[in-house]
Structure 1
Amino acid sequence: MATTGQQVLVTLRKQIADGQLTAGQRLAEIPTAEALGVSRMPVRMAFRALEQEGFLIKSGRGYTVRETSSEEITGAIEVRGVLEGLAARQAVERGLDPGVIDTLRRCLQEGDQLFLHGLLSDNDFDRYHDMNCLFHDTIIKASHNPAVAAALARNDHMPFASVKALAVDASQPEREFKRFYYAHLQHHAIVDALSQGQSARVEGLMREHANATLNYVDDQQQNNANVWVRRKSPSGTTRS
């Protein structure tokens, strides 16, 4: 089952993404814990994780929701696609260890099981998160290029740039199922390209896979009046 800490993390990440927690808003452990009906420890852990992901900034004894432009988020997601595409291509070109494909196929099998019933529970999303992280980490390590891993680690400090930054809209379970199932189908295509040694194809698939996150971010911006990122008007001035 999903741990309290994981539930708090996903909840806060979603509240920031959909504008319930707005840019510049200060957050403290005690009132946040009381609002979520949990103890302070999972809130403290979630705050630290969200700081690492670029959603929050440490501010005195608490945190502040980071104000981030849509251009910064888009750029960071696109950079992840380029870096992961490079990693996948180099993994093919440098020769894949059989264990790499075995690990990736186990990820596919677990994903297949998760999507059998047409809906995902909180526990399913947690399992997907862990499987997804393993899937991406395996490909990055298979590139044998430490510079890619280092660049991704720096890029991960922007909101939604990291594969670990899983945001789920529990109010739309059918839409979320389709969104994650589509990502899983992309995983299948990626493994197929890797196993067949198609370096150019897998590079393009990895970039497309990362850029699918942009659709989610765009939806959040369009569906919420108090969106948490800043947009720029045609004149170049920043508006909320």
Structure 2
Amino acid sequence: MSPSGAPVRSTARGASKWTAAPDPARLTPYEALKKAILSGEFKPGQPLVENALAEWCQTSRTPVREALRRLEQDGLVDSSDRGLVVRKLTPEEILDVYDVRIVLEGTAARVAAERRTDHDLRLLRLLLQKLNDVSESDRDSMVEVNEQFHRAIWKASHNAALLDLLERLHLHLARYPGATLSLGAPGRWAATHREHKRLVDAIDKRDGDTAHRVALAHFSNARDIRLELFADGLPEG
């Protein structure tokens, strides 16, 4: 919204006629643009015009230009013959990202089994219980606690480089609608919870081989479901 409270009109080609502007006191241009891309407010392939975005962010072009440069480095923005655009969604990208993610998640699970502390294990057990208590009808909570659980495994590896790579991959997948837990296959949530429990048990026993094997299978399943979600065009959630 503008300082007067009126909506700011976006003049970027491909943008919707009216877009609610971010609060510049709360979000930097980088944070506001990233949020708009990840939420789908800025559509894949939409041109990103500096002048219009500066007006939308209620700032000058310089911080917007810097934000777009960072978003391009993040892989959320691409260069095209029309200038910078929101990166398009493709099944090939899902496969590429999961090819890497499966390897890294398996490595994180193995290393977590070797390096985890008692505190790490208590946190994983706590999150495992929270996952067990979540209702299957509450998909937002399912997704939130599931992300907390997997991040706890990343952190239990105590490997900053691995954590950074996994966060970058997560950023790419966050652009895709739907969540792999929300596909309506009977027993999907129960099967996921059993996989999570086997993973925590292996980390508890410092059994790196089993933790690695469970993580590979878990995220191979997630890849297949993510592709199905993309093909079906399910709504966000």
Shorter-chain TM-score bucket reads 0.5 to 0.7
| Equivalent of 1:48 in 2, 17, 34 | 34
User: Does 2:108 correspond to 1:87?
Assistant: yes
One-letter amino acid of the counterpart of residue 59, structure 1: L
* Structure 1 residues 1-240: aligned runs within 5 Å: 26-28=14-16, 30=18, 48-49=34-35, 51=37, 56=44, 59-60=48-49, 61=52, 66-94=87-115, 96-115=116-135, 119-120=136-137, 124-159=138-173, 167-168=178-179, 175=184, 178-223=187-232
Task: Report deviation, 1:146.
Answer: 1.0
Aligned partner of 1:4 in structure 2 is: none
Aligned-partner Cα distance in 1 for 2:36–2:96: 19
Structure showing greater relative contact order (alpha-carbon pairs closer than 8 Å, 6 or more residues apart): 1
Aligned-pair Cα RMSD in Å: 3.6
Q: Offset of 1:177 from its aligned partner?
A: 6.9
1:107 & 1:29 partners in 2: Cα distance? 43
TM (norm. structure 1) is 0.60
Structure 1 residues not aligned, in runs of 5+: 1-24, 32-38, 225-240
Structure 1 range deviating more: 96-105 or 47-56:
47-56
CA change 1:49–1:93 in 2 (3 A) is same
- Determine the structure 2 residue equivalent to 1:236: none
Deviations 1:82-135 (A, max 9, x none): 1121111112223x21111111111111111124xxx41xxx222222211221
Deviation of the 1:207 alpha carbon? 2.0
Counterpart residue type for residue 92 of structure 1? A
Distance, in Å, in 2 between the alignment partners of 1:174 and 1:90 is: 30
One-letter identity of the residue aligned with 2:98: I
How many percent identity over aligned positions?
A: 25
- Provide structure 2 residue ranges, at least 5 long, that are not aligned to the other structure: 1-12, 54-76, 78-84
Q: Paired residues, what number?
A: 179
Contact 2:202-2:210 at 8 Å conserved across structures: yes
Amino acid at match of 1:207: L
CA 1:212/1:30 → structure 2, altered by over 3 Å: closer, same or farther? farther
Name which one, 1 or 2, has greater alpha-carbon Rg. 2
Partners of 1:87 and 1:174 in 2: how far apart? 26
User: Offset of 1:74 from its aligned partner?
Assistant: 0.8
**Normalising by structure 2, what TM-score?**
0.61
- From the superposition, tell whether residues 77 and 153 of structure 1 become closer, same or farther in structure 2 (CA, over 3 Å): same
Cα distance, 1:47–1:210 mapped onto 2, change above 3 Å: farther
Q: Secondary structure at the match of 2:34?
A: helix
More off after superposition, 82-91 vs 53-62: 53-62
Q: What displacement does 1:143 show? A: 1.0
